[in-house]
Amino acid sequence: MTIYWIIFIGIALLSWLVSSNLQRKFERYSQIPLPAGLTGREVAEKMLRDNGINDVQVVATRGMLTDNYNPTNKTISLSESVYASRSVAAAAVAAHETGHAIQHAMAYAPLKMRSALVPVISFSSNIMTWVLLAGMLLLQVFPGVLLFGIVLFATTTLFSFITLPVEINASQRALAWLSNAGLTNINTHDKAVDALRSAAYTYVVAALGSLATLLYYIMIFLGGRSRN
């Protein structure tokens, strides 16, 4: 267990560092104007047009780094700091979210898998904490309860790892398009690359943290079984 806590604390610290680094870089690159002078909304709309997609809406949403693409209603939601900004950071984020819309239009397999898991993850998230807590309290009497909780948590871990190729591919699509469309140049493209790479690290750390927690619950389950 000691090794686990060292790993857990290490991942928590790494997560904080990655998140802080992402915010710093976003703030820095938000001060660098996009050579093409387009807003985040205009970047997303142009990228959609260039890829022959005309049934996706681009809207503004509150918050910072709350940008997302919703395949259910085909909506790209851009945070206030991205929607109207004409910066390199805004262009990178807007293009990344548009990359998800393109994935959806092309039936990108990992995205389809992630979308299929959403109802399962929603169900698991609602009861998982209580099932795991009850499972640990009743481990010696009803070990199946904790095992069920582990299965529920495993679905969230699987979701985290499926998310990785989805996010990486969306960034690759975004960066290639920004360059090919002439929206970034030799002085700004590396900034867009750095911003999206930093964002990708948050998903990697989240996946590793989920895996570490899953292994922790498995160790508790196996330890309780061995005492029976």
- Which residue in 27, 45, 80, 97 is the catalytic one? 97
Angle between helices 88-105 and 40-50 (to 10 degrees): 30
DSSP secondary structure of 37-63: ---HHHHHHHHHHHTT--S-EEEEESS
CB distance 57 to 74 below 8 Å = yes
Distance CA 150, CA 138 (A): 14
The pLDDT tens digits for 49-101 are 999 999 999 999 998 889 999 999 999 999 988 999 999 999 999 999 999 99
Structural domain boundaries, residue 191 = 2-226
**How many domains in the chain?**
1
Distance CA 179, CA 156 (A): 35
Report the candidate in 195, 213, 211 with the shortest Cα–Cα distance to residue 87.
195
pLDDT at 227: 60
The pLDDT tens digits for 143-168 are 999 999 999 999 999 999 999 999 99
Q: What pTM was estimated for this model as a whole? A: 0.88
45 is a catalytic site residue: no
The pLDDT tens digits for 102-117 are 999 999 999 999 999 9
